Structure 1
Amino acid sequence: MHADLSRLTFRPERHYSAVVAQQGRVQLDADTNEQTQLDLARSRWLTGDLLGPHGGPAGNTGFAVTYVGGNRGIDNLLIGPGRYYVDGIQLDSGRPAPGEPVPEDGPEHGADGERGPAPAADAPGWDYWNQPDAYRDPEIPGDRLPSAFPFLVYLKVWERLVTAAEDPALREVALGPAMPDTAARVKVVWQVLPLDLGVLGLDGAEPTRENVGKAFRAWAHKQETPGARAAFRAERPEHGDEEPCLVAPDARYRGPENQLYRVEIHDGGRAGEATFKWSRENGSVTFPVDELDGTWVQLASLGGDGKLDLDVGDRVEFVDSAYTSRLEPLPLLRVEELDLPGRRVRLSGEPERGVGRRPELNPYLRRWDHRAGHRRTRQGAGAQLKQGAVAVEEGRWLPLEDGVEVYFAEGGSYRTGDHWTAAARTATGTVEWPADADRRPLLRGPLGIAFHHAPLTLIKGEGSQLELRREFPTLSRDVPDATEEQLAAEAEAHHEELAAEAAQDSGGGQGTSRSQTTAEAETVADGGGEGNG
C-alpha cells in the first residue's frame, strides 16, 4: 500500500487478537491499521474455512459468464450480477444503476406541459470489455479472447490502495487546499480473464470438471506463491563522518528523519531482467495531473514542502487507474525542468499511449527516490538504471541511502508489484527488520501483492460451457407451524395450570395431582407424547 504510514506492525504469526489502547498514550496510525487488519484477516479466514476456496450464495451466485461470438467482430463475455467469495474475500459483480438527473423545467413536466423523460432503466451488467477494474483494450491483441476453443474463464482478485490523488471525493475540501488528504481506502479488485488450456497442461486431453479443477488449482498456487525473498539492514557507510552533527556518531542509519523505506519490483522476471524502485516515503508522494501536453505536465500542486516536492532529476511514474489495475510496468521518467509559477514539469519523455490522457481515470505522478549515480556504495559505484529503475542484483547488499541497504536472495523470481518495507528510526540508528540471535537479518517474502484465483467456466464453444463455480445454501430456515396436537396440548396445559392455582388458593389437596397433569400436558406440547396412541 502506497500510503503515508509510520510503519506496518501486523504480524499474523504472533497471533494477536486485538489492539488495546491505553490512557494518556500517543495514538499512532500503525495501531489503528493493525486492528483493522486483525479484524479483516479473522473475518476472511473464518469465511474461507466455512465456504471453502470459492463459492457464492444459492440464488444470488455472481459471475455467471456467457460467451457471445463477435460475428467477424470482437468476441465478448457477459458477466452476471451477484456475490461471490474467493479465499474469504467478498466480491460483488452487480453494476450500479445510473442516476436520473432532475429535468431542467420541473420534476415531471417540460416547458410545453408534456411529461419529462421516463425513469432510467436498470443498468446493463458488466461484460469482459467494460468490467470495472480490468481495462481491457480491443486494440491490444493480448487482451482479446482466445480464438480457439476450449478455453477457461477465471477470476483474479487482489487489493490495492486508493488515495485522494486517484479518488478526489476522498478529500475533505473544508480543510483547504494547503492541507494534506486524510485517510486512504483499500479496494478489492476483481478481473474476469481468459486462460488457454495449454497453460494448464491440458493440451489434447478431454476437459472435465475434475481434471480442469485440479490443473487450475496447481496453476493458481504457483501464481499466488511468491518466488523472491529480501532483507533490509542499516550499516554505517564510509562517508558517515561527513556530517557528524546530524546524527549520533555510532548510528548505522544516518538519515536525519524517521522514514518508511519501500523497495518495489518494477519489471518482473529473473535477476538480470528484473528491476526495482525505492522510496523513503513508502511511495506515497504523488502529484495529481491536470493536463498533459507532450512532455509537459500540468500539476494540481508541486508539493507542500521541500521534503515532499519535485526536483530536477527525480524519477517519476505516470499513473492512472487503468495503469495501476493492469500491473504492466512502463519506463520511469526523469524530471528535466520545473515551471514553478505555472505548476508544470517537463519530463524526459512522453508517457506511453493510453496512460494519463483520460481525466476520468485521475492521472497523477508518483515520485520515487532513486537516481542514476545517486547510490553511494562502499566501492563508490552509482546505481545503474534500466528504463528508469534499478537493476536487481542478487547475493549482495545494495546500498540505498544513509546506510540503508537491501539484499535479494539468489534464485528469485520477481513479480511486478512485489514489495518490502522497513522503518528507519533515528532513535536507534537502525532499521526495524527481523533478525536471528546473532543479529543477522532474516530473509522474508514480499508483503504483497497477494493474488487470489477462482475458476468460473470452461468455454467449449458458443452455447456450450462447463460450469465451474460453486454455491452454498443459506443457513436460515422457515419456522414450522405448530401442529393441532401441539396447540391442543398447550391449551390443556394452560387450563390445568389455572385449575391448580385455583385449588391451591381454596386450600384443596389436589395441587400435586393437578401439577402432575400439567407436566404431562407440557410434555405432549413439546412433542414428547408423539407416537403414544
Structure 2
Amino acid sequence: MKADFSRATFRPAAHYSAVLSQQGRVQLDADANEQAAIELHLARTTAADVIGPHGGPADGFTVAYVPSPDGKQPADLAITPGRYYVDGVLVDSTPAPVFQAVGDDQSTLDTQAIGYWNQPFAYLDQENADDKLPGFPFLVYLRVVEQLVTAVQDPLIRESALGVALPDTAARSQVTWQALPLPLKVSSQRSNPEQQFDQWVEDQTAVKSHLAAQVEKPAGTDDDPCLLAPDAAYRGPENQLYRVEIHGAGESATFKWSRDNGSIVFPITAVDGRWVSLSSLGRDDKLAIEVGDWVEAVDDATTARGVAAPLLRVTELDPAGGRVLLDSEPLIGGIAARHPLLRRWDQQGPGLSDGAVPVTEGAWLNLEDGVQVWFQAGGSYRTGDYWLIPARTLTADVEWPRDTAGRPLLLPPAGPVVRYAPLAWITSDSGITQLRRTFQHLPTA
C-alpha cells in the first residue's frame, strides 16, 4: 500500500503472536502496523481453516442474469447483497444506510440494487465494449483486493481540529470487490468450469518474478553480482522506504520507483487540457512537485482496474494559481467523486521509456544514493507488482535479507495480493448454476 510508512515488518514465517511495548521506548508506526497485521492474519487464517477457500452465509453474492430489455441496452447481472469469505477475507456488499435529508421526500431515497454496471468498486463503462458481458457460456467470479484509503479518498478520516496545514494521521485498509465475467471454452457437458477457473487463478497468482536489493559496491571490488562489498554504503541524507513497482508488463517490461513508497500525492481539483489544478503543490521541498518530475494521474477507477496510467512530465509550475502544466493531457477527468490525484515518482535521467525504467535482467540497476536492484533472469512481469526496500542512514545500508554468505536474496513481489472465488456459471438467460459455497448458522438451542 502506498502510504507514508517507515517500513513493513510483518513476517508470517516468524510466527509472532503479539507486539509487546516496553517502557521508555520509542513508538514506531511499524510496530503498531505489525500488531494489526498479526491480528488480521490470525482472524483470516482461522476463517479460512473453518470455511475453506471461499464460502458465505445465506444468499450473499447470489448472481442472476438480466438480459437486455430492448436489445440496445447491455445485459446486466443482479447481485444479492450480503457477506462472503475469500481466503478468510470478509467481503461485505451490504449497502450503506441511506438517510433522508431535511426537506426531502422519502421517495427520493436511493435504494438501487447491486447490478453488474453499478458495482461500487468496478467503475464499468457501458460504452466500453471490453466491459460488456460476453456471450454464453461464461463464469462470474469475485475479485477481491485490499486497498489503501487516506484522507484524500475519505475526508472524514482527517481530524479537522488539527487544521489543514498539518499532515493527515492514520490511513485505512479497505476490502474492495468486483464481480467480473470470465469466458471459458467448454468442449463437452463433462467439462468442469470450476476446474478451468482454478487453473486460470493459478496462472494469475503464480509467482513469476524475483528481485534483490543492495547498496552499490565501490569500483574495483569483486565482480560477483551477489557478493556485497564491506565498504558499500547508502549515501542518502534521510531514511527512506523505496518502492520499486512494475509499470509496463510484457516482454518490454518497465518499472518506476519512489523513495517514499509512492505516498507523495497531490489531489486534483480541476483539469483543463494539460493544465491541472491541485489542492497543494507540496508542504516543503521534500514533498513538493517540481518541473521535471514524473507523475501519474490516477483516480478511484484506474486504481480499481489495476492499470498503469501513462507517466506524465511536469513542464511548468504556476504557484500563484496552484497549477502544473504536463507534457500530455491526463486520461482521467476532474470528477471529484472519483478522487483524482497526481502521484509523484522519483526516477530521473536518460534511458527512460515513456518515463519508466526498462527492466534489465541479470544486472544491478542503480536507483539513487547507492541503492541498486537486480531482476532475476527469465521473469514475467505484471503491472502493479512491487517490492519495498528500507534504506537507513545510521547503518548506511538497505534492510534486505541475505544468506549466510552475505549475498542478497531474490524475493517475490510483496504485492498486490488479489484473491478470487467463483460465483456462478451462466450458460443462457435462465441457465445459471450457483458456484457459491454456503454454510448455516449454528443452532440457537
Q: C-alpha distance in 2, partners of 1:250/1:342?
A: 48
The residue aligned with 2:222 is: none
The alpha carbon displacement at 1:92 in A equals: 1.3
Q: C-alpha distance in 1, partners of 2:23/2:162?
A: 28
Q: C-alpha distance in 2, partners of 1:411/1:132?
A: 38
The residue aligned with 1:101 is: 101
The residue aligned with 1:154 is: 141
Q: C-alpha distance in 2, partners of 1:439/1:96?
A: 52
The alpha carbon displacement at 1:340 in A equals: 1.2
The alpha carbon displacement at 1:118 in A equals: 3.5
Q: C-alpha distance in 1, partners of 2:204/2:354?
A: 26
- Does the 8 A contact of 1:229 with 1:444 survive in 2? yes
Larger Rg belongs to = 1
Q: From 134, 137, 160, give the equivalent of 2:122.
A: 134
Unmatched segments (≥5 aa) in structure 1:
104-115, 239-248, 374-383, 479-533
Are positions 1:39 and 2:27 aligned together? no
Q: From 405, 410, 414, give the equivalent of 1:443.
A: 410
SS of alignment partner, residue 243 of structure 2: strand
Q: C-alpha distance in 2, partners of 1:386/1:190?
A: 33
Q: From 339, 346, 358, give the equivalent of 1:362.
A: 339
The alpha carbon displacement at 1:121 in A equals: 5.7
Q: From 354, 368, 374, give the equivalent of 1:401.
A: 368
Which structure exhibits the higher relative contact order, with contacts defined as CA atoms closer than 8 Å and separated by 6 or more residues? Answer: 2
Letter matched to residue 135 of structure 1: Y
Could you give the per-residue CA deviations for residues 249-285 of structure 1, whole angstroms, max 9, x where no partner exists?
A: 9561011111000001111223xx2111000001000
Unmatched segments (≥5 aa) in structure 2:
220-229
- Does the 8 A contact of 2:298 with 2:309 survive in 1? no
Q: TM-score, normalised by structure 1?
A: 0.79
The residue aligned with 2:315 is: 336
Are positions 1:205 and 2:188 aligned together? yes
Change in 2 beyond 3 A, CA 1:335/1:122 = closer
The residue aligned with 2:2 is: 2
C-alpha RMSD of the superposition: 1.7
| Identity, % of aligned positions | 53
Are positions 1:65 and 2:63 aligned together? yes
The alpha carbon displacement at 1:342 in A equals: 1.4
Q: From 212, 221, 233, give the equivalent of 2:202.
A: 221
Are positions 1:430 and 2:428 aligned together? no
The residue aligned with 1:295 is: 274
Are positions 1:419 and 2:407 aligned together? no
The residue aligned with 2:166 is: 179
Q: C-alpha distance in 1, partners of 2:111/2:310?
A: 38
The alpha carbon displacement at 1:149 in A equals: 1.1
The residue aligned with 2:91 is: 91
The residue aligned with 1:487 is: none
Q: C-alpha distance in 2, partners of 1:164/1:190?
A: 21
Letter matched to residue 162 of structure 2: L
- Does the 8 A contact of 2:264 with 2:287 survive in 1? yes
The residue aligned with 2:215 is: 234
Are positions 1:386 and 2:353 aligned together? yes
Q: C-alpha distance in 2, partners of 1:14/1:117?
A: 57
SS of alignment partner, residue 34 of structure 1: helix
Change in 2 beyond 3 A, CA 1:75/1:431 = same
SS of alignment partner, residue 43 of structure 2: helix
- Does the 8 A contact of 2:99 with 2:109 survive in 1? no
Q: C-alpha distance in 2, partners of 1:321/1:343?
A: 22
SS of alignment partner, residue 427 of structure 2: strand
Q: C-alpha distance in 2, partners of 1:476/1:22?
A: 44
Letter matched to residue 191 of structure 1: Q
Q: C-alpha distance in 2, partners of 1:53/1:206?
A: 25
The residue aligned with 1:531 is: none
The alpha carbon displacement at 1:372 in A equals: 3.2
Q: C-alpha distance in 1, partners of 2:275/2:109?
A: 43
Are positions 1:327 and 2:306 aligned together? yes
The residue aligned with 2:175 is: 188
The alpha carbon displacement at 1:99 in A equals: 2.0
Q: Write the mapping of 1:263-282 to structure 2, written as runs, cut at 5 A.
A: 263-270=244-251, 273-282=252-261
- Structure (1 or 2) with the greater helix fraction: 1
The residue aligned with 1:49 is: 49
Q: C-alpha distance in 1, partners of 2:248/2:157?
A: 31
SS of alignment partner, residue 40 of structure 1: helix
Could you give the per-residue CA deviations for residues 433-455 of structure 1, whole angstroms, max 9, x where no partner exists?
A: 00001111000001101111111
Q: From 455, 476, 486, give the equivalent of 2:422.
A: 455
Query: How many equivalent residue pairs?
Result: 434
Change in 2 beyond 3 A, CA 1:432/1:118 = closer
- Does the 8 A contact of 2:269 with 2:334 survive in 1? no
Q: TM-score, normalised by structure 2?
A: 0.94
Deviates more, 1:164-173 or 1:21-30: 164-173
